[in-house]
Amino acid sequence: MSGATAGDGAVLRALADKIRDVPNFPKEGILFKDITTLLQDAGAFRQAVDLMAATYRGKAVELVVGVESRGFIFGGALAYLLHAGFIPVRKEGKLPGQKISEAYALEYGSAVLEIHKDAIKPGQSVVIVDDLLATGGTARTTASLVQQLGGKVVGISFLIELKFLKGADHLSEYNVVSHLKL
């Protein structure tokens, strides 16, 4: 990452500039933060992943849990860099094995998340990863699933946080790190 750190304002501004705003998606009144414009830029993608990984380097992280779907992009890369396993948390009906599930409210509807019952062993240290923190419902539900399986949530990592939605307030019992606070 060329020596850039989480405190490097120029790097953060450059990454934020790579994110496209899409009004009224997926429904009227929502301003969607489209990260595909960041992902297609190899340097920006690498900087974002390195920035997110820096928080957990040298810490005992056994598993990275990525939340469908954009959490898979960052979660897989973080798991690789941290020498950890990767666990997908998926929307209802997408996992083939025995699973546990939990319903939750989104800022624009509701959903159900699932994880395989055998994905996490009791006591394993887990970092949860998603691209964006909005209201905190998805992350809170994912943390609940991890804890139901006996996992220890050592952190929840986001590239972007929409501060005005106050999602971090709903995750106060966890170590939450978000890099771009918009």
The pTM of the full predicted model, rounded to 2 decimals, is 0.93
CA of 117: how far to CAs of 86, 94, 126, 150, 157, in Å?
Answer: 14, 14, 15, 10, 23
- Decide if 164 is inside a domain: yes
Of 62, 70, 90, 140, the active-site residue reads 70
- Decide if 115 is inside a domain: yes
- Decide if 72 is inside a domain: yes
107 is catalytic: yes
Residue 127: strand pairing partners: 64, 155
114 is catalytic: no
- Decide if 147 is inside a domain: yes
Concatenate the DSSP letters of all residues of the chain into one string.
Answer: -TT--TT-HHHHHHHHHTPEEEET-SSTT-EEEETHHHHTSHHHHHHHHHHHHHTTTTS---EEEEETTHHHHHHHHHHHHHT-EEEEEEETT---S-EEEEEEEETTEEEEEEEETTS--TT-EEEEEEEEESSSHHHHHHHHHHHHTT-EEEEEEEEEE-GGGTGGGGGTTS-EEEEEE-
User: What is the spatial distance between Cα 32 and Cα 22, in angstroms, rounded to a whole number?
Assistant: 5
Question: What CATH number is associated with residue 102?
Answer: 3.40.50.2020
**Which domain range does residue 88 map to?**
59-181
User: What is the spatial distance between Cα 78 and Cα 124, in angstroms, rounded to a whole number?
Assistant: 17
- Decide if 158 is inside a domain: yes
List per-residue pLDDT tens for the chain, 182 residues long.
334 455 578 999 999 999 999 999 988 988 999 999 999 999 999 999 999 999 999 999 999 999 999 999 999 999 999 999 999 999 999 999 999 999 998 766 789 999 999 999 999 999 999 999 999 999 999 999 999 999 999 999 999 999 999 999 999 999 999 999 99
Of 28, 46, 90, 107, the active-site residue reads 107
- Decide if 31 is inside a domain: no
- Decide if 38 is inside a domain: no
- The domain total for the chain is 1
- Decide if 46 is inside a domain: no
**Burial degree of 54 (CB within 10 A; 0-12, 13-18, 19+):** middle
